Homo-oligomer: A and B are copies of this chain.
Amino acid sequence: MSIAATPKPPYYAAIFSSVRTEGDDDAYGAMGEAMAGLAMQQPGFLGFEFSADTPERFSLFISYWKKDSDIKRWKQIGEHLEAQRNGKERWYGAYRIRIAKVERDYGRD
């Protein structure tokens, strides 16, 4: 994983914070990879960053998008809806999704 090469702000971030339940790591990993691959093909997708704390089962997944409407469209894609359903039923205990407008950024590449 490396830092997403996002354009000059403004753009949008979907911050997905989750605590995993126990078990079935292989199927979860496959689902995650499939969803990341699918997200990359969506209009307005800019990049993503992911980090998982294995012992604590806490993870952060941030996807970056040109516009809020890109995030709303992505939320309604059929395979993504199924992944969301599986997520709620099988993979996640607590989770939160925050939609945020990136107003400024700085750093070093």
Contact = CB atoms under 8 A, between A and B. Distances in A.
A30 interface: no
A84 to B, nearest CB: 11
Contacts of A3: 17-19, 58, 94-96
A26 interface: no
A58 B1 contact: yes
Interface residues on A, range: 35 or more
Contacts of A92: 108
A15 to B, nearest CB: 7
Interface of A: 1-4, 6, 9, 13, 15, 17-19, 49-54, 56, 58-60, 62, 68, 88, 92-109
